[in-house]
């Protein structure tokens, strides 16, 4: 009886994960047949604000604008030992009744990593009250002053690993210099 329960539970978990194409704990793959769900920026406006965290041996900072013109915009930077390592510009836009996340990376001198007309695109997979899942990129609201971002990153050797970025809201009088 116990073995049958384990088999059934394992099968149900496999079905649930495959429905959204989940290959990592907190991120989902895009399902071409299902497409993106309907969503607007009002579903995710809790992302807006000034956020700081620690990752890659340094301080990470993201500033997300409020929705305007059917988009939200983010500027990101990584600072290690008082030196900029790289920047990102990210947008989330309302397109055809759903959301699309796009980003570009830049070296500290603002020379782009990607080709001039190429962006990293992440299609919307699922939205819940406290999470928004783009393909391989998830935002999670912990509280009004804390969020996690989970990103699937290629390690350069063909392995994809899910990386968690924990951010705290930067309050006006608590900025790190």
Chain mean pLDDT for the chain: 86
pLDDT classification of 43: cutoffs 50, 70, 90: very high
pTM: 0.81
pLDDT digits (tens, 9 = 90+) for 46-66: 999 999 999 999 999 999 999
Domains of the chain as residue ranges with CATH:
2-169 (2.40.128)
Three-class DSSP category at 97:
coil
Cβ atoms < 10 Å from Cβ of 8: 10
Predicted confidence at residue 156, as pLDDT, reads 78
Predicted confidence at residue 120, as pLDDT, reads 92
pLDDT digits (tens, 9 = 90+) for 128-175: 999 999 999 999 999 999 999 999 988 778 888 899 999 999 987 655
Burial of 116 (0-12, 13-18, 19+ CB in 10 A): exposed
pLDDT classification of 67: cutoffs 50, 70, 90: very high
Cβ atoms < 10 Å from Cβ of 125: 24
Lowest mean pLDDT among 8-17, 21-30, 167-176: 8-17
Q: What are phi and psi of 85, to 5 degrees?
A: -95, -45
């Amino acid at each position: 009886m116990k073995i049958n329960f384990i088999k059934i539970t394992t099968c149900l978990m496999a079905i649930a994960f495959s429905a959204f194409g989940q290959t990592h704990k907190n991120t989902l793959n895009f399902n071409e047949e299902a497409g993106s769900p309907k969503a607007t920026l009002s579903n995710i406006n809790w992302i807006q604000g000034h956020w700081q965290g620690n990752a890659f041996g340094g301080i990470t900072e993201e500033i997300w604008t409020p929705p305007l013109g059917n988009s939200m915009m983010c500027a990101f930077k990584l600072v290690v030992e008082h030196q900029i390592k790289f920047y990102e510009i990210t947008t989330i836009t309302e397109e055809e009744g759903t959301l699309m996340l796009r980003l570009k990376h830049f070296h500290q001198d603002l020379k782009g990593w990607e080709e001039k007309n190429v962006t990293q695109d992440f299609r919307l997979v699922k939205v819940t009250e406290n999470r928004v899942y783009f393909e391989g990129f998830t935002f999670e609201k912990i509280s009004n002053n804390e969020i996690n971002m989970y990103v699937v990153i290629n390690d350069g050797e063909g392995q994809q690993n899910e990386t968690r970025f924990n951010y705290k809201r930067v309050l006006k009088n608590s900025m790190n210099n």
